[in-house]
């Protein structure tokens, strides 16, 4: 019998609880079909935690996450808390939890469902077969370097510094190689080594780590070229690894190849196999409580959790196949429906996907 895995569930605000409920339904179905065992512990986080506990990230929620094998997060935030002081804002909790859990990379897969291909702004023949993942370094680089203003010869100047240490690059490179080993064994390391010293260190370090992964085919792509190639030949990429700011931009570009925000999953990883999994979208206050949110981004985040944290490739593939079969059968939530009058709700979509999970 499979070992019981602990999942910390923090549903959050707005549509968070609605989409998370459908993800749990899908996880329960994988227990039936594959014999895996999961234990859920629920924690308060975000706006709801501010209301009930006076802080976006209560200590017991953080402890619950630390004791778990993985975290499933809905979304946080909403207009109710927008004007709060910084320490009482849901986003502060989001930064806090990432830091406290040591999550140093953000992973965003981008793959195309053939039945939704027409919804993309990119030509079908370019897009068909796209299946890539962007691994973005999350805690270093220019966003975290020293920043200041000073008086220069021509008046005021602003300075942002980009710093990367060898260990920071090593750990993200190793993670990317490990992910490549579980996928197509191709890794594109993206930098600007023709101009930036931090990129030259990045490249040297990635090359050194590559020696431990002889099966992975490594290419180095300059960031400006990568931005072009993502639009020209997205199918040629398998895993892309890059530093914080380049990854911020490229992961949004890659995500938009495939369309709706309601479909996009993500993972934030620390050392080892621990990870926090969440949809890319926010709490969507405009549709919260109406039962119309698309749960697929959260359900696909569970597939990522199964693959990256638990190594349950069979169940991960079964979830992705179930989503595909439900979409192929023509079922759509409002955000991805062409004929909105035929759209189905959150619970109905979750029910259909759970029912379609099979060995
Ligand atoms: P959003 O992603 O919540 O919504 C943008 C648009 O997409 C809205 O029209 C919404 O209805 C739609 N949408 C989003 N998810 C959907 C889904 N699953 N199904 C159908 N439609 C969906 O972004 P926003 O409106 O800019 O932000 C709303 C709140 O969420 C803000 O408070 C923001 O700070 C927060 N937010 C949280 C996270 C997070 O928790 N990680 C991420 C982004 C935004």
Residue 113 lies in a domain: no
Per residue of the chain (359 residues), give pLDDT as tens.
689 999 999 999 999 999 999 999 999 999 999 999 999 999 999 999 999 999 999 999 999 999 999 999 999 999 999 999 989 999 889 888 988 999 999 999 998 888 888 778 899 999 999 999 999 999 999 988 999 999 999 999 999 999 999 999 999 999 999 999 989 999 999 999 999 999 999 999 999 999 999 999 999 999 999 999 999 999 999 999 999 999 999 998 998 887 678 999 999 999 889 999 999 999 999 999 999 999 999 999 999 999 999 999 999 999 999 999 999 999 999 998 888 899 999 999 999 999 999 99
Residue 112 lies in a domain: no
CATH number of the domain residue 185 falls in: 3.40.718.10
Residue 146 lies in a domain: yes
Instruction: Write down which residue in 196, 224, 257 finishes a domain.
Output: 257
Interval between CA 275 and ligand 1 midpoint (Å): 21
309 lines ligand 1 (CB under 6 A): no
283 lines ligand 1 (CB under 6 A): yes
248 is catalytic: yes
Based on the structure, what is the number of domains in the chain? 2
pLDDT of residue 256: 84
pLDDT of residue 86: 87
pLDDT of residue 118: 79
- DSSP lists the bridge partners of residue 347 as none
pLDDT of residue 1: 67
The one catalytic residue in 147, 252, 328, 340 is: 252
- Ligand 1, atom 6, lies closest to the CA of 284
284 lines ligand 1 (CB under 6 A): yes
pLDDT of residue 227: 98
Q: Is 83 annotated as a binding residue?
A: yes
Judge if 184 and 158 occupy the same domain: yes
pLDDT of residue 339: 87
Judge if 238 and 128 occupy the same domain: yes
Residue 125 lies in a domain: yes
Judge if 252 and 348 occupy the same domain: no
Judge if 126 and 250 occupy the same domain: yes
Residue 15 lies in a domain: yes
74 lines ligand 1 (CB under 6 A): no
The one catalytic residue in 6, 25, 131, 143 is: 143
Judge if 234 and 343 occupy the same domain: no
Sequence-distant contacts of 354-357: CB under 8 A, at least 24 apart? 354/22, 354/25, 354/26, 354/28, 354/29, 354/322, 355/29, 356/321, 356/322, 356/325, 356/326, 357/26, 357/29, 357/30, 357/33, 357/315, 357/318, 357/319, 357/322
Judge if 131 and 87 occupy the same domain: no
Q: Which two tokens mark 122?
A: 């990119």
Instruction: Write down which residue in 257, 282, 297 finishes a domain.
Output: 257
Q: Which two tokens mark 232?
A: 């020209």
Residue 174 lies in a domain: yes
Interval between CA 284 and ligand 1 midpoint (Å): 4
Judge if 246 and 182 occupy the same domain: yes
Interval between CA 283 and ligand 1 midpoint (Å): 5
56 lines ligand 1 (CB under 6 A): no
- Ligand 1, atom 40, lies closest to the CA of 75
Residue 331 lies in a domain: yes
Residue 116 lies in a domain: no
Interval between CA 150 and ligand 1 midpoint (Å): 38
Which ligand 1 atom minimizes the distance to the CA of 294? 19
Distance of alpha carbon 179 from alpha carbon 173, whole angstroms? 10
Instruction: Write down which residue in 257, 279, 311 finishes a domain.
Output: 257
Judge if 50 and 99 occupy the same domain: yes
Judge if 128 and 253 occupy the same domain: yes
Interval between CA 167 and ligand 1 midpoint (Å): 34
Q: Who's near 8: CB < 8 A, 6+ residues apart?
A: 41, 42, 43, 61, 64, 65, 67, 68, 70, 71, 72
Judge if 266 and 224 occupy the same domain: no
Containing domain of residue 131, as a range?
121-257
- Ligand 1, atom 20, lies closest to the CA of 293
Judge if 173 and 278 occupy the same domain: no
Judge if 128 and 247 occupy the same domain: yes
221 lines ligand 1 (CB under 6 A): no
Task: Quick: pLDDT tens for 313-330.
Answer: 999 999 999 999 999 999
pTM: 0.91
Q: Which two tokens mark 95?
A: 């930064």
């Amino acid at each position: 019998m499979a070992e019981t895995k602990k999942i910390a569930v923090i549903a959050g605000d707005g549509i968070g609880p609605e989409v998370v409920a459908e993800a749990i339904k899908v996880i329960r179905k994988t227990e039936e079909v594959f014999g895996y065992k999961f234990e859920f512990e629920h924690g308060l986080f975000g706006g709801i935690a501010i209301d009930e506990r006076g802080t976006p990230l209560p200590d017991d929620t953080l402890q619950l996450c630390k004791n778990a094998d993985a975290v499933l997060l809905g979304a946080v935030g909403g207009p109710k808390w927008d004007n709060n002081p910084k320490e009482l804002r849901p986003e502060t909790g989001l930064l806090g939890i990432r830091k406290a859990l040591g999550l140093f990379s953000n992973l965003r897969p981008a793959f195309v469902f053939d039945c939704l291909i027409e919804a993309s702004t990119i030509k079908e023949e370019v897009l068909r077969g796209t299946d890539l993942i962007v691994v973005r370094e999350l805690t270093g680089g220019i966003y975290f370097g020293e920043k200041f203003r000073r008086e220069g010869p021509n008046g005021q100047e602003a300075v942002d510094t980009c710093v990367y240490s060898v260990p920071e690059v090593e750990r993200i490179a190793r993670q990317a190689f490990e992910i490549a080993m579980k996928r197509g064994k191709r890794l594109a390391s993206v930098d600007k080594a023709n101009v930036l010293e931090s990129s030259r260190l990045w490249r040297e370090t990635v090359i050194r780590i590559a020696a431990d992964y002889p099966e992975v085919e490594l290419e180095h792509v300059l960031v400006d070229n990568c931005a072009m190639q993502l639009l020209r030949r997205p199918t040629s990429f398998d895993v892309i690894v890059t530093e914080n700011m380049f990854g911020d931009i490229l992961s949004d570009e890659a995500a938009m190849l495939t369309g709706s925000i309601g479909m996009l999953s993500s993972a934030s990883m620390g050392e080892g196999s621990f990870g926090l999994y969440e949809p890319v979208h926010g709490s969507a206050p405009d549709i919260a409580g109406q039962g119309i949110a698309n749960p697929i981004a959260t359900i696909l985040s569970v597939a990522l959790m199964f693959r990256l944290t638990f190594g349950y490739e069979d169940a991960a593939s079964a979830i992705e196949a179930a989503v595909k079969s439900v979409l192929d059968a023509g079922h759509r939530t409002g955000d991805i429906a062409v004929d909105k009058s035929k759209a189905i709700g959150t619970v109905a979509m979750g029910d259909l996907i759970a029912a379609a999970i099979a060995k």
